[in-house]
Amino acid sequence: MIPAAFEYSRASSVDDALRLLWQHAGSAKVIAGGHSLLPLLKLRVASVERLIDIGRISELRGIGTSSGGGLSLGALTTYRDILDSAAVRSQFPLLIDVVDGIGDVQVRNRGTVGGAVAHADPASDLPAALLALDAEIVVRSQTGERTIPAAQFFEGAFVTAIAENELLTAIRIPSMSGRGGAYAKLEQPASGYSIVGVAAVVGRGGSQVRIGITGVGDVAYRAMAVEQALLASDWSDNAIRAAAAHAADGQVVASDIHADRAYRTQMAAVFTRRAIAEALRRAG
Ligand SMILES: Cc1cc2nc3c(=O)[nH]c(=O)nc-3n(C[C@H](O)[C@H](O)[C@H](O)COP(=O)(O)OP(=O)(O)OC[C@H]3O[C@@H](n4cnc5c(N)ncnc54)[C@H](O)[C@@H]3O)c2cc1C
């Protein structure tokens, strides 16, 4: 189908994008790689008066590392950029697990991390990873910059803490020093989206743990019941299995043509166990 007519502005810089967002707040949407937004416009599930194209703002693209070992991903960083980064490969193997399993080559070449996070699809992979990695999302408007912890950013299916006149500019991830991380997912074979996706970050010797899960509820969440059970355990295989059984606690588990509620609940436990075991191994 052909989308309904819309106005189009190409932003030449972040300041230009912020000016346009301010001027057209409520009636405009940003477009980056277009992989999530364009299908919605074409299907007329979404409509918009104006698209603000940020796709050529070079200052928004790139991967930076801090002296403390943290990572900064510009909003327009593509999945391909992440796969090609030696720093990510050596220090953040969890992110490589995630990105390697996303979509197909075209999606990985064009899809941006900012677009994925701002879109907040309940089955997308990055939100679970960002929760486990304790990431922060940086947003800017004409009035200033805000840094939002991932735990407060994903508010519901396709709903985030970004205001209408704000632009997501970067994602910051703290150092993985002394910790190991892994991502395990059961994917929907046609698209690659998660039926269940689990990110685990574990401190060496089981000193700390953060588990993020996507695909199960209507928004990615931290599996606190699993974390609490693990911290009170001896981290034996049996203890990990018992803790992982709490993966869907407190969630209204999704049920659809790909996985009914009972199967998805069971798979949440299975993939949580796998992610924790691999994160523990990587923590050393
Ligand atoms: C065939 C296919 C398979 C896929 N498989 C997977 C998968 O396996 N796992 C997975 O997690 N995802 C998957 N995806 C989703 C993909 O990851 C996203 O479509 C993509 O990353 C979105 O980025 P984009 O730049 O294309 O966003 P766009 O489509 O341009 O934008 C998406 C939304 O985010 C907003 N937005 C974009 N950038 C910003 C910004 N900087 N600030 C504020 N708002 C912004 C837009 O206004 C829009 O609402 C798949 C997509 C397709 C088409």
pLDDT, one tens digit per residue, over 171-210 is 999 999 999 999 999 999 988 999 999 999 999 988 899 9
Nearest atom of ligand 1 to the alpha carbon of 187: 8
> Whose CA is closest to atom 47 on ligand 1?
30
Q: Among residues 173, 199, 233, which one ends one of the domains?
A: 173
Domain range for residue 25? 7-53
| 130 lies in the same domain as 229 | no
Number of structural domains in the chain: 3
The residue-averaged pLDDT of 117-127 equals 97
Instruction: Tell me the two tokens of residue 144.
Output: 């200033």
**Pocket-testing residue among 14, 20, 35, 48, ligand 1, by greatest number of atoms within 8 A of Cβ:** 35
Confidence of residue 80 (pLDDT cuts 50, 70, 90): very high
| 72 lies in the same domain as 165 | yes
Q: Is the pLDDT of residue 1 over 90?
A: no
CATH number of domain containing 237? 3.30.390.50
**Pocket-testing residue among 47, 119, 164, 193, ligand 1, by greatest number of atoms within 8 A of Cβ:** 119
Q: Is the pLDDT of residue 229 over 90?
A: yes
- Phi, psi torsion values for 76, nearest 5 degrees: -90, 10
**Percentage of the chain lying above the pLDDT 70 cut:** 100
Does some domain include residue 233? yes
Q: Among residues 53, 71, 87, which one ends one of the domains?
A: 53
Q: How far apart are CA 106 and CA 231, in angstroms?
A: 41
- Phi, psi torsion values for 216, nearest 5 degrees: -90, -50
Does some domain include residue 1? no
Q: Is 51 touching ligand 1 by the criterion CB < 6 Å?
A: no
pLDDT at 284: 87
